[in-house]
Amino acid sequence: MGLKVLLGWLALNLGLLAAIWLIVRCWLRTRPLTGAVLAKRLMREGDADGQRPDFLMGEIAFLMRDMGDPAEGRLLAAVLSDWRGRGLLSCEMAPKKRLSGFGEDMQPTLALAAGPSALPGAEGALFALLESACDGTLQSSEAYNWARAHAAELRDALRRFEAEGRARLRTEGAVREQTRKGFLGTARQERLVYTPRGQRRALALRRWENHLLDAPGDCLPHAVLLGCGEPPQPLGRFCEWMIQGYAAGLKSSRP
């Protein structure tokens, strides 16, 4: 009789432990995560998936910043690569302009398509900004000087991509604001967290990134933004000059 009681007690406790384990496991799978914690989890992800996820450029740029890898320069190069593929600009080598150019005698030269007014949101704002820099064409040395002089405007245009990406992720239910309770009367803090849907979206992006490491041509703009590829030449060289000017402008404007 005593043995049966003992076995019953053991079975009951094992059942309770199993129930607690399941509850904790479900909570760990469904709890929201901050970008820093999610980034650490994704670092261990080695699988690749060649199915392109439904991500806008701004969403990817925002995710990268929130997880500790801001990529404004790569975002600019990715957008220009995308526009080239869509026929919104061309980039060819041309002789250096005598009055406004400096450096190499032959330079990458950007030409924008005539007024594509249908570009929405951040794309339209960046296109209009670049149009204001062109006198028909924009050479790499001119792009350096212009980006340095207009670094703040260029930064705002690129950050608009990220803002639109964040808004879309919130609309999809992938991210939300979480209020952390204050301790001993301290002020409450708001922080952005990723819901289970957002975590699945981030995982899909990481697997897509792993695929692009071996096949950047499957989506060159995404590959450029994620650091898995480079823009086609001579556009890549043009982007390098422009990004260097942008960085120099930001540095010189700091107090």
Place of tokens 């480079």: 230
Give percent above pLDDT 90 in the chain.
57
Q: Give the span between the Cα atoms of 214 and 67, in whole angstroms.
A: 23
Q: Looking at residues 176-183, what average pLDDT do you find?
A: 72
Structure tokens at 51: 């199915």
What is the per-residue pLDDT for 181?
67
Edge-to-edge strands of the sheet including 138-139? Answer: 89-95, 106-112, 138-139
Q: Looking at residues 104-122, what average pLDDT do you find?
A: 84
pLDDT tier at 77, thresholds 50, 70, 90: very high
Name 42's Cβ contacts closer than 8 Å, sequence gap at least 6.
67, 202, 203, 206
Backbone angles phi, psi at 86, to 5 degrees: -95, 0
Q: Looking at residues 147-172, what average pLDDT do you find?
A: 95
Q: Give the span between the Cα atoms of 76 and 126, in whole angstroms.
A: 9
Q: Give the span between the Cα atoms of 108 and 86, in whole angstroms.
A: 19
What is the per-residue pLDDT for 225?
96
Mean pLDDT for all residues in the chain: 86
What is the per-residue pLDDT for 184?
59
Backbone angles phi, psi at 38, to 5 degrees: -65, -40
Backbone angles phi, psi at 125, to 5 degrees: -65, -40
Domain regions of the chain by residue span:
1-30, 35-253
pLDDT at residue 81 greater than cutoff 90: yes
40 CB-side CA count, 13 A: 4
CA nearest to 48, candidates 225, 226, 196, 239: 226
Structure tokens at 14: 């094992």
Cis peptide before 70 (omega within 30 of 0): no
pLDDT tier at 14, thresholds 50, 70, 90: low
- How many CB atoms sit inside 10 A of residue 56's CB? 16
Task: Output DSSP code: residue 111.
Answer: E
Structure tokens at 118: 């249908």
The sign of the CA dihedral 168, 62, 161, 231 is negative
Q: Looking at residues 116-135, what average pLDDT do you find?
A: 86
Compute the 3-state secondary structure of the chain and give helix, strand, coil in percent, each to the nearest 5: 60, 10, 30
Q: Looking at residues 139-164, what average pLDDT do you find?
A: 95
